[in-house]
Structure formats: structure tokens, C-alpha cells
A = this chain, B = another copy of it.
């Protein structure tokens, strides 16, 4: 018993809107434990929609449609479905009544075009829409072999109809065989391929499954368990998570909604210490990541954006001779920036970033992507980390990677 999602709308093909409905329905089906293998997007075209229905109705038993329920001529999902199965449409007085009421509540009069929304296939049930004028249908055109649900494309209406009507219907009709629960572990400082090799046996598991993802230098492992209840799913996930964390060690920084900034914030709070930052190539991006976290004022006091060398020298006290001799992008300048901001803002720790984000400014010895992270420690010592992000990365990528690497440097320090 497999579900399939069919999204109808030329605006989706043109990319005028993002298909968030498919993501919502995908998440919902996973949580309900209803397997779903295919999603299709098709424009407001009856012939093509029929072709999609023909394919989907052969490989899936629950077809979930979104879009094309409106009053305008290009809204033709329901009539096309009825036409495909050779069933005629009948007008439902209760829908006319409902639409009339909604219009009068808004002090308006129902337009003739809305009558179209009261037409549903003979034998179908109404899938009530509490907020909008477009109702959906629940229909079994081939007895128990095939169930069809239709929803408007308007996300808010889809969400309400799904929660209030579709979920109870699916549960009461034996669609929900257990649930799927996921837990995503997050990693920094290790390549996806390297991590995948370290945990190779886990990637072969069937329940829970473990799948790797990578984006902007961050790697993730998603553990997904299928079970009859959340409790049982947790029983499957927890031991796998424990083993994965043991294998990854400090490369694993957190899970699910945790970010490098939130984890570092937790560690700073736990250690009762404060942080300030000095940023050159990131221009404020490190401070922004830290202050993305509500309550970060408990441990983050602020920083200096030392984009120009004069600011590195005058505000942070970086030595002008060192700037001249080693250049702004150097370990020693990163260290002096970190110590300078820690001293100026009187914090426990000072973090700094100086590097070449590109696209210009690279040289043979100092290519684009070369970044130094400086750390002034609680006891006043300084250290630094050299990062080489590669000359092929975008300016945005290098800046994000630099800020994350800075957070990660102090996170590892406080974790060990």
C-alpha cells in the first residue's frame, strides 16, 4: 500500500513558486509510516494530467493531489480525475451553501465561477475545507484498490484539511502501519566520503537506515527508524546514535536543530565564560551566527569588524610591523586580533578570522580560500588554525566555512 504525491500547477513548472506542499506531504507520510516512492509535478493541462494519473494509478494505491481546485478556468484537477475514470460530476448543494456562507462572512457575494467548486465525481465524499472555498474529495474509483485525496494548492488550506480530515481518515482506514522517526547527527571538520567510510556498515542497515548528506562543508547522518510507536522507534535509533557518536568523536557536534553556534553557546554558559570576536574577511558573519541564538547575550558580548588593516591596528592593537612583514592573512595577525578583542571587550575567550574570501586578492603563496582562525584562551595564551578551503569555492562558501570553523575550534577546545 504505497502513496504518491501529484502536484498540479503550471506555476510550479515555471518555478514561480517553491513546491513546499510536496515537502509537507512527504514529512506527513513519513510520520504516519505510509511509504511513498514517487512525486510528480504537472501543469494545468488535462491531457498531461491524465497521463500522470494513468501512471500513478498503476504503481500506487493512494494518490494525493494538490492544486487546481480553484474557481478559475485553469483549475481542472477534479474534473480531469473524474474524466479519466469515466465518472460524471454532480453538483453538491451543501458545498454551494458553504461557499455562500464564507462569501457573506466576508461581506461579499459568491461569484458564478465558484459554482464550479461544488462539482465532485459521483460517489466521492467531500473533503471539507474550513478556511477556503475549494473543498477536496475522498474517492475510491476502483473500490479498495485505489484511494484519491485532493487538496487546494494554498498551503494553509492544505495543512488544515490534512490535519483535520485526511489524517483521521487514513488512520481509520488502516493506512498507518507504524511510523517513521528520524534523528540527524551533524558533523564539522570531516569530509562526507571519509565519514561514510568510517561508518560504512551502518549505511547498509535496513531499520533504522543511516544516510549521509553534505552541504557547505557540514556533513549529516540521518538515522530513520520504522516502528509501531515513537517509543519503539527511539529504541531502534538510540543505540545506533550512540555507536555513531563513539566512532565520530568530536567530529560530531550535535543533532537535529542544534547548530555549531548553539552548541558552543551551551558550552560557554556551562563554563560560565564569555566570548568576543574579531572579524576581517567574514565582516560580521561570525557574530551573526552567534547572535542567531536567542539568549546569546548571556555569553557573547560583541566584537570588532576589522575589515581594513587600519582598524586591525588602531582598534585591536595588531602590530604594524607584523602586518607589513607577514601580511593581514597570517597566523600571527589572527592571534593578535583574537587577543586584541579579548582584551578590549574583557571576555574569557577571543576568536578571530582573517583570510582571503575572493574572488580577487589571491596570490601563489596565499591563494583564495586561505583563512587563519585565531583563539585567545582564558589564560591569555594565543593559538591559531590554518584553513585552506580551496580556490574553487565561492566567496559566500569560504566566508560561511570560516565562521563555522571558528565556532568549531572553540567548541572542540571546550568539549575536550
Digitize A377-399: 1 where CB-to-B-CB distance is under 8 Å, 0 elsewhere: 00000000000111111111101
Check A13 against B37 for contact (C-beta < 8 Å): yes
- CB neighbours (8 Å) of A295 from chain B are 360
**A contacts with B, residue count (CB < 8 A):** 124
Which of A287, A305, A388 has the most chain B CB atoms inside 10 A of its CB? Answer: A305
Separation in Å of the A220 CB from the closest CB of chain B?
9
Check A360 against B196 for contact (C-beta < 8 Å): no
A 331-359 contacts with B by CB, 8 A: 344-346, 358-359
Check B308 against A302 for contact (C-beta < 8 Å): yes
Query: Closest residue to A358 on the B side, CB-wise?
Result: B294
- CB neighbours (8 Å) of A292 from chain B are 283, 395-396
Query: Closest residue to A110 on the B side, CB-wise?
Result: B193
Check A288 against B288 for contact (C-beta < 8 Å): yes
Is A231 part of the binding interface, using a Cβ–Cβ cutoff of 8 Å? Answer: no
Digitize A106-119: 1 where CB-to-B-CB distance is under 8 Å, 0 elsewhere: 11101111100000
Binds B, one of A16-24, A135-143, A317-325: A16-24
Is A163 part of the binding interface, using a Cβ–Cβ cutoff of 8 Å? Answer: no
A72-B308 Cα distance, complex, nearest whole Å: 43
Query: Closest residue to A38 on the B side, CB-wise?
Result: B42
Given contacts A39-B40, A284-B288, contact A297 B307 (CB under 8 A): yes
Partner of A12, one of B26, B106, B310: B26
Check A111 against B294 for contact (C-beta < 8 Å): no
Check B315 against A345 for contact (C-beta < 8 Å): yes
- CB neighbours (8 Å) of A112 from chain B are 197
Digitize A4-44: 1 where CB-to-B-CB distance is under 8 Å, 0 elsewhere: 00000011111111111011111110100000111111111
Check A286 against B284 for contact (C-beta < 8 Å): yes
Check B192 against A72 for contact (C-beta < 8 Å): yes
Is A290 part of the binding interface, using a Cβ–Cβ cutoff of 8 Å? Answer: yes
What are 17 of the A-B contact pairs (CB < 8 Å)? A12-B26, A16-B27, A19-B19, A19-B22, A73-B200, A106-B388, A108-B194, A112-B197, A277-B305, A282-B291, A283-B302, A285-B291, A294-B395, A301-B307, A310-B345, A314-B345, A315-B344
